[in-house]
Structure 1
Amino acid sequence: MNLVTPTEHPFAQFVRILGKGKRGARNMTREEACEAMGMLLDGNVEDTQLGAFLMLLRHKEENAEELAGFTEAFRQRNQAPRIEVDLDWPSYAGKKRHLPWYLLAAKALADSGIRIVLHGGGAHTAGRMYSEQLLDLLDIPLCRDWDQVAGALDERHLAFIPLGAWAPQLQRMIDLRNTLGLRSPIHSLARILNPLNARCGLQSIFHPGYQAEHREASRLLSDHAIVIKGEGGEIEVNPDTACHLYGTHDGQSWDEEWPALSPLRHVKPESLDPGHLVAVWHGKSGDDYGLLAIRSTMALALRGMGMKRAEAFEEADRIWAERKISI
């Protein structure tokens, strides 16, 4: 009787690289990461391989070379047209301690003429407030394709497009969060993709140590980016603590330490009322923490546009004072 040895699946090598025990496992090279993500994006893997790969990578923790390789695979397949964008603004974490003040910062910056694309992966974790849930309330255009994004940017300088509209394969991986029980590295990867090649990509990475890895991945990709540990994981400067900026531009890395804006920590609100965002935008309600968060987040974005810190804060104050208060 002739026994035929089963042929190994081509993707099995990448699961083996990550999972071959304490002594045998290793990081993927940039080229291996690019090939692996290419197979994932093309749908050339089994579901069991996808789950194993994501969780092994989560356990190991992805490094800069792997992030750069994953991003290259996406960009090789990216179908987005050429659209002029100033700031790529990923929004994937959701807020649970404070309101999403970054949305008011983005609105005010857009009012001043800065072209901003927000993108996110949906409300995947219970108990958090996501950008997608507040678009109607804050009159932020929701776009379903790149043509709609281009139109919104020309008319309003601001657009939000869901990840599923331009990278459905990655959205599916994010949606596995409640099946696998853990967030996968795709939540981290989505922040670095910058699908429209904006002049600057803003990134918020909450977990310590990951900020430097993301900055290095952006440097390897020759991108202009600023990475921070944003409040709740979103691109929002917490005015109660110092903020370290991990920047890269023209292949060079730079660092800045911004001191806290408030000498004392503010008391966390007992509940989050989205309507309070509208009241603050209209100037009908004050919020010391919120206004400081808006100001410093706007300054961060302006720093990404090339301004120095002092100039960025001055410009942020001017833009906020001149915002269009109609919603």
Structure 2
Amino acid sequence: MNLVTPPEHPFAQFVRILGKGKRGARNMTREEARDALGMLLDGKVEDTQLGAFLMLLRHKEENAEELAGFTEAFRLRNPAPAIAVDLDWPSYAGKKRHLPWYLLAAKALADSGVRILLHGGGAHTAGRLYTEQLLELLDIPLCQDWEQVAVALDEHQLAFIPLGAWAPQLQRMIDLRNTLGLRSPIHSLARILNPLGARCGLQSIFHPGYQAEHREASRLLGDHAIVIKGEGGEIEVNPDAACHLYGTLDGEAWDEEWPALSALRHVKPDRLDAGRLVDVWRGESGDDYGQLAVIATMALALRGLGLEREQAFGEARRRWSERKTSD
């Protein structure tokens, strides 16, 4: 009786690299990561392999070489459209302790002529307030393709596009969060992709140690980026704490420490009232924490566009004061 051994699936090698026990498992090389995500994007992987791969990678924690390889695989299949953008602004975490003041920072910067692309992956975790839920309230254009993004940037200097509109395969992986019980590394990857090749990519990585890995991945890719541990995981400077900037420009890494702006920690609100964002934008009410967060986040973005810290803060205050508070 002749028994034929079934051939191994080509993707099995990548699951084995990550899952071969404490002594056998290892990191993927940049090239292996590029090939692995390439197969995922091309639909050449079984669902069981996808789940195993994402969770093994989540358990191991992705490194800079892997992030760079993943990004290269995505960019190879999704070349950036010719749309000029100053800042790539990923928004994937949602807020639960404080309001999303970063949105007012983005609006004020756009109002002053900075072209900003916002993108996010949907409301995947209960109890959080996401950018997507506030677009209409804050008059931020929602776009469903790059053509709409180009129009919105020309007319408003600000556009939001859902991840599912430009990377549906990655959105599907993010949506597995409630099936697998854990967020996958795709949440981190989406922050580094910079789909339009913006002058500077801003990234917020909440978990300690990941900031340096993301900065190194951007450096390997030759991108200009600033990575911070943003409040709640979003690109928002917490004025009650020191903020470390992990930057990279022209292949060189740099670091900068910004001191806290407030001597005392502010009390977080009892509930998140999104209408307060509109009131503060219009100047109809004040919020000490919120306005400090807005100014510091604007300064961070301007630092990414080449201004030094003191100049960035001065420009942030000026641009905030000169924002158009009504249509």
The TM tier, using the shorter chain, reads: over 0.9
2:125 is the counterpart of 1:107: no
Q: d(CA) in 2 for partners of 1:40 and 1:256?
A: 37
Q: d(CA) in 2 for partners of 1:78 and 1:244?
A: 32
Asked whether the 8 Å contact 2:163–2:170 carries over to 1, the reply is yes
Amino acid at match of 2:318: R
1:68-217 matched pairs, under 5 angstroms: 68-217=68-217
Amino acid at match of 2:134: L
Amino acid at match of 2:99: L
Deviation, structure 1 residue 80: 3.8
* Residue matched to 1:34: 34
Deviation, structure 1 residue 277: 0.2
* Residue matched to 1:6: 6
* Residue matched to 1:295: 295
Q: d(CA) in 2 for partners of 1:41 and 1:103?
A: 31
Q: d(CA) in 1 for partners of 2:36 and 2:248?
A: 26
**Would you say how many aligned residue pairs link Structure 1 and Structure 2?**
327
Amino acid at match of 2:115: R
Amino acid at match of 2:29: T
Q: d(CA) in 1 for partners of 2:12 and 2:122?
A: 30
Amino acid at match of 1:258: W
Deviations 1:176-216 (A, max 9, x none): 00000000000000000000000000000000000000000
Unpaired segments of 5 or more residues in structure 2? none
Q: Secondary structure at the match of 1:138?
A: coil
Question: Identity rate of aligned residues, in percent?
Answer: 85
2:57 is the counterpart of 1:54: no
Q: d(CA) in 2 for partners of 1:285 and 1:175?
A: 38
Q: d(CA) in 2 for partners of 1:247 and 1:47?
A: 37
Q: d(CA) in 2 for partners of 1:136 and 1:251?
A: 39
Q: Secondary structure at the match of 1:137?
A: coil
Q: d(CA) in 2 for partners of 1:128 and 1:80?
A: 31
* Residue matched to 2:230: 230
Deviation, structure 1 residue 79: 4.4
Q: d(CA) in 2 for partners of 1:188 and 1:238?
A: 20
Amino acid at match of 1:61: E
Q: Secondary structure at the match of 1:96?
A: coil
Q: Secondary structure at the match of 2:137?
A: helix
Q: Secondary structure at the match of 1:136?
A: coil
Q: d(CA) in 1 for partners of 2:84 and 2:216?
A: 25
Q: d(CA) in 1 for partners of 2:274 and 2:124?
A: 19
Deviation, structure 1 residue 135: 0.0
Q: d(CA) in 1 for partners of 2:79 and 2:160?
A: 17
Deviation, structure 1 residue 326: 1.7
Amino acid at match of 1:234: E
Q: d(CA) in 1 for partners of 2:50 and 2:15?
A: 9
Q: Secondary structure at the match of 1:190?
A: helix
* Residue matched to 2:267: 267
Unpaired segments of 5 or more residues in structure 1? none
Asked whether the 8 Å contact 1:202–1:226 carries over to 2, the reply is yes
2:257 is the counterpart of 1:243: no
* Residue matched to 1:307: 307
Asked whether the 8 Å contact 2:152–2:158 carries over to 1, the reply is yes
Provide the aligned C-alpha RMSD in A. 0.6
Amino acid at match of 1:313: F
Q: d(CA) in 1 for partners of 2:79 and 2:71?
A: 14
Asked whether the 8 Å contact 2:80–2:197 carries over to 1, the reply is no
Q: d(CA) in 2 for partners of 1:106 and 1:161?
A: 15
Q: d(CA) in 2 for partners of 1:202 and 1:41?
A: 24
